[in-house]
Amino acid sequence: MATKEKVCLAYSCSVSGGLDTSCILAWLLEKGYDVVCFMADIGQEEDFEAAKLKALSVGASAVHVEDVREEFVKELCFPAIQCNASYENVYLLGTSLARPVIARAQIAVALRENCVAVSHGCTGKGNDQVRFELAFYALKPDIKVIAPWRIPEFYNRFQGRNDLLDYAAKVGIPVSQTKAKPWSMDENMAHCSYEAGILEDPNMTPPKDMWKLTVDPQDAPDAPENFTVHFEKGIPVKLEYENGKAVSDPVQLFLTANAIARRNGVGRIDIVENRFIGIKSRGCYETPGLTILRSAHLDLEGLTLDREIRALRDQFVTIGYSRVLYNGLYFSPEREFLEASIVASQKTVNGTVRCQVYKGYFSVLGRSSATEKLYDMDESSMDIIGGLEPIDSTGFINVQAIRLKK
């Protein structure tokens, strides 16, 4: 008998196996492939053992769970904080940030298992198909990619989630989604996203029980919570909270920031964005810890970062890096260039930010730096003349007015 071609499938383990990829696994088996399932532990709250058993019960020949949490925080989340990354001024790129480390780990598993192809459950209208496949081809140019949602035989058979639910019931695949709550979820350590189903109506308010990570701001504690974030070269290196407790390990620091923001209802957004592929999409996102760490960093830059460097970084690096992440071009020369620019811009961003969260809001109580002296209290004071003679401003204004007078 001929050996079956082996495929490495990115198996979504949302609530012990996502609807799409569980059905794709069964479909690939129908097509005669030997399927190895791959799952990335990227900090989502999941029973990986249950997901592994489920994939094996459906018919996977092997299941690999790869822990990528530390590289996710250090290689993706921290640089995003350093440059205040955001897409269209509001989305903190929680899904985009995770894709490079997931794709890299999947290719590594595919190589170990001698797979001829990799597969995923991304839709033909979304961003993730682009992100994963550009990463696959950058890491292994000769890899074959099987994208069922772009294969007519598949998408004509399964024209929506209801068809998938019917198929899952027919072949005996247990799933958590129902026709009453059909929205899609994607979770990692940085965020959880929600889309599809009733959320496709941009005027439909998300139901209260949809949100998974954060407490409803109205139900958050009635007393504010304070904490302090320490930064070195733009990277959070220590978080102090709850009467003297402190954490410095990158993953634990991020998880602690998550816990603080989650219990205080911080980090929810509901937006309509422009997908890379050219259509608009409504998405609801929870990004708790990343929201407060980025906000603290943004504040510290006001004290420690030179004006012209900040302007250049904001105009070119922040926008460019955010777009590179969103569009799936992490494994590209432009990302390497932009990331080097991020590091160069952050040499002076050292100090502490005292923060407060309360019922969905983040605020800064104070900031300080022991090493950077760009801010001079005497120079800025309204009560002390300092090194700037007020009369000097007359000439400055006159020069600035020349063009306007013309």
Query: What are the catalytic residues?
Result: 20, 99, 128, 184
What backbone phi and psi angles, to 5 degrees, belong to 184? -95, 145
Question: Strands (DSSP E) along 114-166, which ranges?
Answer: 117-119, 144-146
Do β-strands 192-195 and 268-274 pair in parallel, antiparallel, or remain unpaired?
A: unpaired
Q: How far apart are CA 326 and CA 273, in angstroms?
A: 11
Contacts of 152 (CB under 8 A, 6+ apart): none
Do β-strands 6-10 and 62-67 pair in parallel, antiparallel, or remain unpaired?
A: unpaired
- Does an H or E element contain 17, and which? none
Q: Characterise 184 by phi-psi region: left (phi > 0), alpha (psi -120 to 50), beta (else).
A: beta
Handedness of CA 204, 210, 212, 215 (dihedral sign): positive
Do β-strands 117-119 and 62-67 pair in parallel, antiparallel, or remain unpaired?
A: unpaired
Q: Are 272 and 281 in contact (CB under 8 A)?
A: yes
Q: How far apart are CA 190 and CA 61, in angstroms?
A: 31
Q: How far apart are CA 188 and CA 43, in angstroms?
A: 5
What backbone phi and psi angles, to 5 degrees, belong to 366? 175, 160
Indicate the DSSP class of residue 217.
Answer: G
What would the two tokens of residue 79 be?
A: 């640089």
Q: For helices 128-139 and 94-112, give the axis angle rounded to 10 degrees.
A: 40
Q: 3-class SS at 34?
A: strand
Q: Are 325 and 89 in contact (CB under 8 A)?
A: no
Nearest Cα to Cα of residue 78 among 262, 260, 342: 342
For tokens 């993706």, the residue is 76
What would the two tokens of residue 85 be?
A: 């990354």
